[in-house]
Amino acid sequence: MKGELATLLIVEDDPDALVLLRRALRKVGVRAALHVVTDGESALDYLAGEGRFRDRQVHPLPTIILLDLKLPKRSGLEVLEWKFRQPQLRGIPVIIVTSSEEESDRRRATELGAHYDVKLIDPGSLLRLAKKVRRYAAMWEHRGAGNRTAG
pLDDT digits (tens, 9 = 90+) for 6-42: 888 999 998 988 888 888 888 888 878 899 999 999 9
Query: Any idea where the domains of the chain sit in the sequence?
Result: 6-144
What CATH architecture does domain 6-144 belong to?
3-Layer(aba) Sandwich (3.40)
pLDDT at 41: 97
- pLDDT grade, residue 82 (50/70/90)? very high
Q: Which is higher by pLDDT, 94 or 25?
A: 94
pLDDT at 2: 45
**pTM, 2 dp:** 0.81
Q: Which is higher by pLDDT, 120 or 117?
A: 117
In order, the DSSP letters of 81-131 are HHHHT-GGGTTS-EEEEES---HHHHHHHHHTT-EEEE---SHHHHHHHHH
